[in-house]
């Protein structure tokens, strides 16, 4: 599309992207514990709706998405696998490309071997999981989602002021002020 190239140049000007992302961002209040300790109930989060117009979601990103069974309902989850990744889910544990994924410090380690039954994600499939599996309805329950279901990337917790921070993609450093 003709507008993408000029937009990419404009967004490289210092301060333009954060300004536009703030103006066009979506604001939402966290209502459950599924993303704890990254996000807690009552926190107000600004989501960047421009992020995925320029690049696809990446593993580690915290995203605002439409619930697959209830498209008007919004959910906040972490992208753990992208198209082409091999995924195995066993209970509350998930292996991506043979590596155990989790928010408890075991992600990225070989850990116990993945049980049989790996599935390779299709070209328009992303797996979204909550950081707290015991409190999350996520890809373990509803499976992978299409790109169109991912609406925005979490950018900034702005309320309460004592918890203000930029939301990072690493599940092992989130929530640590």
Q: Label residue 72 left, alpha or beta by phi (over 0 means left) and psi (-120 to 50 means alpha).
A: alpha
How do the domains of the chain map onto residue ranges? Answer: 17-166
- In three-state form (DSSP H/G/I as H, E/B as E, the rest C), the secondary structure along 1-36 is CCCHHHHHHHHCCCCHHHHHHHHHCEEEECCCCCCC
Please report, in tens digits, the pLDDT of each residue of the chain (177 residues total): 565 676 666 656 666 666 666 666 778 899 999 999 999 999 999 998 888 887 899 999 999 999 999 989 999 999 999 999 999 988 888 899 988 886 444 445 556 776 777 899 999 999 999 999 889 999 999 999 999 999 999 988 989 999 999 998 765 444 433
Strand 62-66 and strand 74-81: the pairing is antiparallel
Query: Which pLDDT value is given to residue 176?
Result: 39
For residue 92, give the DSSP letter. T
Q: Give the right CATH number for 17-166 from 2.10.109.10, 3.40.190.150, 3.40.630.30, 1.10.10.10.
A: 2.10.109.10
What is the tens place of the pLDDT at every residue in 104-118? 444 455 567 767 778
Query: Which pLDDT value is given to residue 104?
Result: 46
């Amino acid at each position: 599309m003709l507008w993408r190239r000029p937009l990419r140049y404009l967004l490289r000007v210092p301060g333009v992207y954060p300004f536009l992302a703030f103006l066009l961002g979506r604001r939402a209040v966290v209502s459950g514990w599924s993303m704890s300790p990254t996000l807690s109930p009552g926190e107000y989060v600004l989501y960047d709706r421009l992020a995925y117009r320029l690049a696809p979601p990446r593993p580690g990103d915290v995203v605002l998405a439409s619930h697959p069974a209830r498209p008007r309902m919004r959910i906040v989850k972490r992208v753990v696998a992208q198209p082409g990744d091999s995924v195995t889910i066993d209970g509350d544990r998930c292996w991506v490309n043979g590596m155990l994924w989790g928010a408890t410090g075991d992600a990225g380690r070989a850990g116990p071997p993945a049980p049989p039954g790996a599935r390779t994600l299709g070209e328009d499939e992303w797996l979204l999981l909550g950081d707290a599996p015991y409190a999350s309805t996520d890809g373990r329950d509803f499976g992978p989602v299409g790109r169109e279901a991912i609406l925005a990337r979490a950018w900034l917790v702005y309320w309460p002021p004592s918890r203000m921070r930029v939301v990072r993609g690493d599940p092992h450093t989130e929530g640590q002020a």
